[in-house]
């Protein structure tokens, strides 16, 4: 049993509130694994159970073969964690915070901490209460990354980061993966998960809906596309194309939904004069409604 | 200072340490400096107090002893005033051990590190015990200075024993608050219950004899074993201090077990 994460029949209920239900999930070492679901789906519950911050109602989970409940200290030595709702000690500076938590790990490479701070454009000298939410998140990332953990649990970790920093973070994550780390990345943002991850589990209302490769997910990508032509173009021009649905024409503007590749659409559109194209990424809910409504698939 | 949870918590309490020490030193000095005038008028005071209803004297102690420093301190400082103040920080910090970090959410991050819940709790408890010790030692030095200033003397061994009892009583109620947050109560509820119990048990212990309640009622209150006024007059009672110490240990274990078993709130 050397999977990075193994979750078996995990159920966590909070009275009437939903947690997670009968969850089975395996993450292999070296995976950059996306954990995708809308807010309140059970992502944070899963991660906090893995860290033994909350106890399962039933079921078990392991990290690198270690029981998350019974061997939590051993598990914690190998895991870096960024909480979704990150709270820091307001009276400590960034550097003091790093030193305190580093001491709890028995010390870390401070050179690496400085490099991380530099790359994430983070000033360690200020007090935590003076940090913006983006800066707090950077400090949270530094704390999680500073020990070069074998497994990173990131709960909505890149929210509030500006795009450049987010890019740098993605680079760091790629380097970590190349160095052998496993990354478990929870998010409610589909494009973000597509950019970063190799495999994705989709969770909704506490239940695992699907586990897929990112490429498969992309093939299922549903886009709403709007093309503004110079002159009106009949709907029939596009209606027969693969994956195209719901074609609507309004004067010279044509809108439709397309599943998967958009190549054939542009080949056809190019035969006319195109003034503008707008593509809308689907919301997670739309993806769920289109593909996963009703049934659940086995996680494997 | 940030190498462990224990030292970090002491570091966090450094301002409180200064203010509580200064406050208690001033309180102690003020009370001691009033002693000469009380001593002078003790005859009149005795007569006045003798005319008060027995319930009042039961609450405030036996006025006969006002003529000696030990008796005076037992009545005016150790009988109610000093423990009421120290219980204030005991309950506040005891409730904060888990409560404040859980309220702010830092507990989530802290417990994701390779450190057990038991270790976090005992280190934080240790920080409060050291805090109480430092505050009480400082304020007792202030008290001894005041006693010297009014040209009086006190039995230092008895005073030390009484101060020890104040520390133990403070930790009993502090650990009670800690235990209540350990089993899942929020900080406000835990502090309220602990403060309420401190007041009720104080009244039970003081008024039981008057209300013709069985003596056993007093024996279940920490104040009975605390009895620093008597310790000042007659010396240390190891059994009583041991009972308070046992109560602290039991409450700490309840807190640990409760905290070990429950979910951490977000």
Query: What residues have CB less than 8 Å from B194, skipping those under 6 apart?
Result: B91, B94, B95, B173, B176, B177, B180
Instruction: Give, as one character, the DSSP assignment of residue A129.
Output: G
Confidence class for position B236, pLDDT limits 50, 70, 90? very high
Q: Which among A44, A54, A105 has the least Cβ separation from residue B113?
A: A105
pLDDT in tens, B79-111: 989 999 999 999 999 999 888 899 899 999 999
pLDDT in tens, B27-45: 999 999 988 888 787 777 7
Distance of alpha carbon B55 from alpha carbon A281, whole angstroms: 78
Q: Quick check: B114 contacting A, CB < 8 Å?
A: yes
- Which residues of chain B make contact with A143, given a CB cutoff of 8 A? 109
Q: Quick check: B159 contacting A, CB < 8 Å?
A: no
For A211, the enclosing helix (H) or strand (E) is: strand A207-213
Q: Quick check: B108 contacting A, CB < 8 Å?
A: yes
Cross-chain Cβ contact A79/B12 below 8 Å: no
**How far is B10 from chain A, CA to nearest CA, in Å?**
13
Q: Which among B104, B108, B112 has the least Cβ separation from residue A76?
A: B112
Cross-chain Cβ contact B104/A100 below 8 Å: no
Cross-chain Cβ contact A73/B116 below 8 Å: yes
How high is the pLDDT of residue B64?
Answer: 61
pLDDT in tens, B138-178: 999 999 999 999 988 899 999 999 999 999 999 999 999 99
Distance of alpha carbon B226 from alpha carbon B231, whole angstroms: 9
Q: Quick check: B2 contacting A, CB < 8 Å?
A: yes
Q: Which of A194, A261, A195 is nearest to A225 (CA)?
A: A261
Instruction: Give, as one character, the DSSP assignment of residue B51.
Output: T
How high is the pLDDT of residue A220?
Answer: 73
List, as own/partner pairs, every contact residues B107-111 make where C-beta atoms lie below 8 angstroms and the sequence separation is at least 24, other chains included: B107/B264, B108/A48, B108/A53, B108/A83, B108/A85, B108/A87, B108/B264, B108/B266, B109/A81, B109/A83, B109/A86, B109/A87, B109/A88, B109/A101, B109/A140, B109/A143, B110/A104, B110/B5, B111/A51, B111/A52, B111/A53, B111/B264
Size of interface A-B (CB pairs under 8 A): 71
Q: Which among B12, B114, B264 has the least Cβ separation from residue A104?
A: B114
pTM to 2 decimal places = 0.86
- Which residues of chain A make contact with B3, given a CB cutoff of 8 A? 100, 103
Cross-chain Cβ contact B106/A55 below 8 Å: no
Cross-chain Cβ contact B2/A100 below 8 Å: yes
Distance of alpha carbon A101 from alpha carbon A223, whole angstroms: 44
- Which residues of chain A make contact with B113, given a CB cutoff of 8 A? 76, 101, 104-105
Query: What residues have CB less than 8 Å from B238, skipping those under 6 apart?
Result: none
Q: Which residue has the tokens 């050397």?
A: A2
Q: Can you tell me the mean pLDDT for B219-231?
A: 92
How high is the pLDDT of residue A291?
Answer: 63
Interface probe, candidates B99, B109, B261, chain A, greatest A C-beta count within 10 A:
B109
Q: Quick check: B115 contacting A, CB < 8 Å?
A: yes
* Per-residue pLDDT in tens (0 to 9) along chain A, 300 residues: 589 999 999 999 987 777 899 999 999 999 999 999 888 889 999 999 999 999 999 999 999 999 999 999 999 999 999 998 899 999 999 999 999 999 999 999 999 999 999 999 999 999 888 898 899 999 999 999 999 999 999 998 877 788 899 899 999 999 999 999 999 999 988 878 888 888 999 998 899 988 988 888 777 777 888 999 999 888 888 888 888 888 888 888 999 888 877 888 888 888 999 999 998 877 666 666 666 654 444 433
How high is the pLDDT of residue A245?
Answer: 84
What phi, psi does A233 have (nearest 5°)? -120, 135
Q: Quick check: B4 contacting A, CB < 8 Å?
A: yes
């Amino acid at each position: 049993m050397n999977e990075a994460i193994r979750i078996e029949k995990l159920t966590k209920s909070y009275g009437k509130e939903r947690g997670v239900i009968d969850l089975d999930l395996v993450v292999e070492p070296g995976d950059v694994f996306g954990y995708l679901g809308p807010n309140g789906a059970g992502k944070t519950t899963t991660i906090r159970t893995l860290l033994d911050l909350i106890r399962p109602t039933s079921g078990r989970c392991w990290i690198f073969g270690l029981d998350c409940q019974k061997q939590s200290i051993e598990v914690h030595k190998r895991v870096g964690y960024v909480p979704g709702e990150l709270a820091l000690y307001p009276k400590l500076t960034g550097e003091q915070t790093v030193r305190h938590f580093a001491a709890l790990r028995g010390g870390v490479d401070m050179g690496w901490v400085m490099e991380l701070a530099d790359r994430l454009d983070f000033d360690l000298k200020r007090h935590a209460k003076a940090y913006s939410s983006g800066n707090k998140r950077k400090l949270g990332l530094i704390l999680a990354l500073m020990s070069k953990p074998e497994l990173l649990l990131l709960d909505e970790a890149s929210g509030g980061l500006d795009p450049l920093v987010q890019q740098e973070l993605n680079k760091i994550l790629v380097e970590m993966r190349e160095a052998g780390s496993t990354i478990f990345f929870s998010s409610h943002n589909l494009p973000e998960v597509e950019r970063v991850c190799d495999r994705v589990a989709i969770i909704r209302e506490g239940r695992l809906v699907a586990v897929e490769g990112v490429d498969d997910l992309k093939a299922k990508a549903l886009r709403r596309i709007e093309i503004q032509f110079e002159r009106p173009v009949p709907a029939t021009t596009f209606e027969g194309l693969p994956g195209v649905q719901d074609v609507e024409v309004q004067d010279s503007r044509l809108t439709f939904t397309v599943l998967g590749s958009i190549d054939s659409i542009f080949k056809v559109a190019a035969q006319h004069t195109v003034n503008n194209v707008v593509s809308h990424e689907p919301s997670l809910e739309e993806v769920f409604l289109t593909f996963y409504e009703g049934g659940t698939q086995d996680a494997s | 200072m940030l190498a462990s949870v224990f030292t970090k918590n002491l570091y966090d309490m450094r301002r409180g340490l200064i203010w509580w020490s200064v406050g208690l030193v001033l309180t102690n000095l003020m009370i001691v400096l009033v002693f000469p005038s009380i001593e002078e008028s003790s005859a009149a005071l005795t007569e006045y107090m003798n005319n008060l209803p027995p319930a009042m004297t039961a609450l405030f102690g036996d006025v006969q002893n006002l003529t000696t420093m030990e008796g005076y301190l037992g009545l005016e400082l150790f009988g109610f005033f000093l423990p009421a103040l120290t219980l204030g920080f005991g309950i506040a910090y005891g409730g904060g051990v888990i409560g404040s970090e859980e309220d702010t959410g830092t507990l989530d991050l802290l417990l994701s590190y390779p450190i057990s819940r038991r270790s976090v709790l005992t280190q934080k408890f240790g920080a409060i015990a050291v805090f109480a010790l430092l505050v009480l030692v400082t304020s007792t030095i202030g008290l001894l200075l005041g006693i010297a200033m009014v040209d009086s003397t006190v039995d230092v061994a008895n005073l030390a024993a009484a101060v020890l009892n104040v520390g133990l009583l403070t930790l009993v109620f502090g650990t009670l608050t800690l235990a209540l947050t350990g089993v899942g109560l929020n900080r406000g509820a835990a502090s309220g219950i602990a403060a309420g119990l401190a007041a009720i048990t104080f009244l039970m212990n003081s008024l039981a004899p008057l209300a013709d309640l069985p003596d056993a009622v007093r024996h279940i209150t920490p104040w009975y074993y605390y009895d620093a006024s008597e310790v000042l007059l007659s010396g240390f009672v190891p059994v009583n201090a041991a009972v308070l110490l046992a109560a602290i240990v039991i409450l700490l274990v309840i807190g640990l077990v409760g905290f070990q078993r429950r979910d951490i709130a977000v």
